[in-house]
Structure 1
Amino acid sequence: MAARVIVIGAGVVGAATAWSLAREDASVVLLEAFERGHDRGSSHGGSRIFRHGYTEQDYVELSVRALQGWTHLERVSGRRLLDPTGALDHGDLAALTAIAEAQDAAELPYEWLTADEATSRWPGLRFEQHVLFSPGGGRLRAADAIEALLDAAAAAGADLRFGARVTDIAETGDGVTVTASDGVHTADAVVVAAGSWTPELLRPFLDARGVELPTVRVTEEQPAHFPLVAGPADSEAAWPSFVHHPTEDGVTGAYGLLTPGEGVKVGFHGVGPQVDPDHRDRTIDPDRLAGLQRYVADWVPGVDSTRPEGISCLYDSTPQEEFVLDRVGPVVIATGFSGHGFKFGPALGDVLARLALHGEPAAERFRLAVASPDA
């Protein structure tokens, strides 16, 4: 079957790209190696943080664009996808100040609070320093968001194919041939958004072109859900999303948010061991879980730290945690989302669709020429 654009991967980035392409009346085939809604990659689960809390203007602007996309998808799908809980940043004051300055530049609202003021408002958390509260942040209903993106893409004309694992990508004349378990597909362009599988899938094509990706480490991360304890923080309204920035006195950086019906998800960011995404046993490491429990017992008093439910997920991380959004010949590359890409889904879909259809480059920060392999 000939298609103008093939998208590889039906996680948040691939699904959003298929939707964006289909809305531009492109002929789209989306190929996903596993079943719909699978839990082997980075996009599964009930919740993800949405926040504008970045120090870099490119990311703040991308988050604003993503918010517009999520709002539009809610209208199209008739589903509620984003709960406006607000977002907290606490810990390293330099990081908080830089976030505030970036939000000033984007004319986004925020509020400074003392530790005592924040504790009074959110008794499920403990604070020692100033706190930055951003009312525009919140919680994405992740599994619902993926389904809404896939449904919207299909409704706009995309051909969604699950259980279609790609084994080869080859440039052919003015286009590309993609070999998958369901057959051979040809197109003008292909978007490779296969999460932790992207680097290996792209390597033969890029090697032939003499092009290097930045180093992308695939790691298995292990957050956990913790049940609420009875008290002032046992209601959904008491839990904004939160990021605890590392401090010089040794506080480990962490993040968290409430997943309704499952508890408060808390995790350390990007600390897991490197793995092969096809050969990981997903067993919860008791030593790593114990470390997370110690953090939760100290900083998240509104949950029961003794009753964690561990989660296994994958990160695909570049050295500086920068996204790679670029095009080499007919191949559009989407990788390095480093555990913080989900919130940007609709915006990333638009960027990648424009690369595929029009060759319109992403912001300079995200290009291969900027992302040095050894950065």
Structure 2
Amino acid sequence: MESIRFDGHVVIGGGAVGAATAHALTARGERVLLVEQHGRGHHEGSSHGATRIFRQGYTDPEYVALTSRALALWDALETASGTTLLDRTGAVDHGRPEVVDAIAAALSDADIPHETLTTDQASARWPGIAFEGHVLTHASAGRIRSAEAIEVFLTLADGSGLADLRFDTPVTAIEDHGDDVTVSFGDGTAVRTRSVVAAVGSWAPTLVGAVLAGRGVRLPAVRVTQEQPAHFPSHLPDQAWPSFVHWADGDDVYGLLTPGEGVKVGFHGTGPVVDPDARDKRPVAAEAERLQAYVARYVPGVDATRPTFISCLYDTTPDEDFVIDRRGPITVATGFSGHGFKFAPLLGELVADLATGGAPHPRFAL
């Protein structure tokens, strides 16, 4: 197959990280060819849906610092686009004292305002949630308008005049030549480039695992699972709902309102291992029942008998740290482990740094 030389960056993946990377690269004056195997705004990966949680509540100081960097970039993106992307609903953590107290300590160390509450105080403030253990809230958190955010990244990249966005364009092969690579597409065309970014989440092991192994590095074991949160109809007005995380005895739980759809509640990373190209998207019956039982007990502000289930993918590393690194002309971004979307504009910058010759963030290097 004859390839066309492309003097720019081929970004594979049009989800949150790929779209953010395309925006970050074009903002630096770089040319981008973005290819996505599915349609624009598709529901096949990890990025779809109208809302995601933004929160700064980590026990790890490094991740807390990264949330602050991401928050500044969300603010800048709102200014650049003239679009509201982050609704500051606040977030509440409750449950196991050792976790909630460690989050409070990390927020204190970072000078991020927060408040500790009794369970009675929390229930009076947010009657839609039943609290246990220790309770912590911070006002800088909230709800990302995730589908709109991806569109903003893509629209700004496209509007730069430096990006070519191609959807329904699967990558069939990546051939490593040393200083550059050939990327072949399903339509029979190919390009040769000195920079390819595989921002493909759950598809990274199959797309670039062998190419990276040929360069002497291996991806960590990325566990691809089908998660099955659900939206539940709310009995309460929209303003009654913060984003929330329950550090429960057992599986941790997250929740947030999706306006017009209900309150989304899900277990974190408990779904079955799947092939991202061959999943039935149907909830596991026993897990669906377990989620409804949880919601009936701990989220009294919704109707637990009327779930609308969602299918999405997690690409989880053993330590839930991200993988963002480069070898030769190949940059890979994967392993976002169900907590990456809040960092999307920062991830775009980190990937763009690598693609333009910068060093990897030490935490995320292979």
Establish whether TM, by shorter chain, passes 0.5.
Answer: yes
Query: What is the Cα deviation at residue 284 of structure 1?
Result: 2.3
Query: Paired residue for 1:20, among 12, 17, 24?
Result: 24
1 CA distance for matches of 2:119 and 2:357? Answer: 49
Who is 2:85 aligned against? 81
2 CA distance for matches of 1:62 and 1:167? Answer: 34
1 CA distance for matches of 2:217 and 2:312? Answer: 29
Who is 1:365 aligned against? 363
2 CA distance for matches of 1:37 and 1:317? Answer: 22
Against the structure 1 CA distance between its residues 120 and 166, is the aligned structure 2 distance closer, same or farther, given a 3 Å change threshold?
same
Query: What is the Cα deviation at residue 173 of structure 1?
Result: 4.4
Check whether the contact 2:78–2:84 (CA below 8 A) recurs between aligned residues. yes
Query: Paired residue for 1:205, among 204, 207, 211?
Result: 211
Secondary structure at 2:106 match in 1: helix
Who is 1:99 aligned against? 103
Query: What is the Cα deviation at residue 53 of structure 1?
Result: 0.7
2 CA distance for matches of 1:300 and 1:190? Answer: 45
Who is 2:224 aligned against? 218
Who is 1:114 aligned against? 118
Who is 2:37 aligned against? 33
Instruction: Give the TM-score of the pair, scaled to structure 2.
Output: 0.96
Query: What is the Cα deviation at residue 74 of structure 1?
Result: 1.3
Who is 1:245 aligned against? 247
Query: What is the Cα deviation at residue 221 of structure 1?
Result: 0.3
1:127-184 superposed Cα distances (whole Å, 9 cap, x missing partner): 1222110101000111111111110111122211111111222222422221112421
Secondary structure at 1:3 match in 2: coil
1 CA distance for matches of 2:68 and 2:175? Answer: 36
1:288-307 to structure 2, matched below 5 A, reads: 288-307=287-306
User: In the alignment, is residue 160 of structure 1 matched against residue 165 of structure 2?
Assistant: yes
1:138-217 to structure 2, matched below 5 A, reads: 138-156=142-160, 157-182=162-187, 183-217=189-223
Secondary structure at 2:296 match in 1: helix
2 CA distance for matches of 1:56 and 1:222? Answer: 27
Instruction: Give the TM-score of the pair, scaled to structure 1.
Output: 0.94
Check whether the contact 2:178–2:328 (CA below 8 A) recurs between aligned residues. no
The amino acid across from 1:264 in the alignment is: V
User: In the alignment, is residue 45 of structure 1 matched against residue 49 of structure 2?
Assistant: yes
1:251-271 superposed Cα distances (whole Å, 9 cap, x missing partner): x31000000000000000000
Query: Paired residue for 1:128, among 128, 132, 148?
Result: 132
1 CA distance for matches of 2:347 and 2:293? Answer: 36
Who is 2:281 aligned against? 282
Who is 2:325 aligned against? 326
Instruction: List gaps (5 residues or longer) in structure 2.
Output: none
Check whether the contact 1:3–1:185 (CA below 8 A) recurs between aligned residues. no
- Sequence identity percentage: 55
The amino acid across from 1:196 in the alignment is: S
2 CA distance for matches of 1:238 and 1:150? Answer: 32
2 CA distance for matches of 1:93 and 1:64? Answer: 24
Who is 2:310 aligned against? 311
1:319-365 superposed Cα distances (whole Å, 9 cap, x missing partner): 11110111111111101001111110000000000011023221x22
2 CA distance for matches of 1:72 and 1:99? Answer: 26
Who is 2:13 aligned against? 9
Query: What is the Cα deviation at residue 199 of structure 1?
Result: 1.1
